[in-house]
Copies of this chain bind each other. A is one copy, B any other.
């Protein structure tokens, strides 16, 4: 494993192995000094062409807990603004000595392109509507821990609700959840489903209320307000009524069911209850697990058997 570009590149066994490695990382994060020297001297560069403090910080934190050095390139301050091509930027930074690039870009496939221009490992931190593989891994880890399902997701019923069409999170989660055996239903207004679902091993529904009581996991996607400008959504209020987690739906959930969201939430829209009041809310666990999963990915790609035991 040299890069992490897409969940599609991983077998179910490889996903399981990454989740087991994540267990080690979660244990490190519980220590008084949550830091190991495993990636000392490695240079992890985040190259974010879209703003995302949340994901960037999670990777940064992960890298530093493994004692790697980190550098951040926000596109706004880089030579890309002086007309330099993405390729020249990547080759230049790479020449300074980079072990891994963590890339977010609005174009699907940009991380794959990068692998042609650098000898460093490339980790996709979100490309267009395409993939966000570490989000899918952290979501798997959260379900695995939350429902105590170390051996797989056979028989689990998961609904992913919202703007499936434009969501790299949905695309990645569907692949990961089904690879581990879950049964996934996509719930969305017709305008927010992809034009074709050929080859997606899922069912679809427009009726969340019919499903909600039988779910093990309710996964809510963020509503992008620009979808209204594009006339794909009538109003936030109507969206919330039809597809949001309202108090009535929260009451209809099974007691063991998990509620998940990739963040940041639009309170009052896709989630109209206070998640702090929901016993099954995994939303902050997802954030915490994100650090551990990213530690596992970085260690898998760069670690070559380095030390996870000693103190940094």
Which residues of A pack against B, CB within 8 Å? 29, 31-35, 40-41, 43, 51, 53-54, 57-58, 60-61, 64, 69, 71, 73-74, 77-79, 81-85, 88-89, 91-93, 95-97, 225, 263-267, 284-285, 287-288, 290-291, 312
Contact = CB atoms under 8 A, between A and B. Distances in A.
Given A29-B97, A95-B287, 16 more contacts: A34-B97, A40-B312, A54-B79, A61-B71, A61-B96, A74-B77, A79-B263, A79-B264, A83-B264, A88-B263, A88-B264, A88-B265, A89-B264, A92-B263, A92-B284, A96-B288
Contact of A69 (B32, B64, B84): B64
Copies held by the complex: 3
Contacts of A291: 96-97
A82 B264 contact: yes
A271 B312 CA distance: 46
A4 to B, nearest CB: 20
Contacts of A312: 40-41
Given A51-B77, A54-B92, A263-B92, A33 B29 contact: no
A267 B68 CA distance: 34
Top 4 A-B pairs, shortest CB-CB distance: A33-B41, A95-B287, A84-B264, A95-B284
A60 B71 contact: yes
12 contacts: A29-B97, A34-B41, A34-B97, A53-B78, A57-B96, A83-B264, A83-B266, A88-B263, A88-B264, A89-B264, A92-B264, A92-B287
A89 to B, nearest CB: 8
A29 to B, nearest CB: 6
Contacts of A31: 41
Instruction: Identify which of A69, A85, A97 gathers the most chain B CB atoms within 10 Å of its CB.
Output: A97
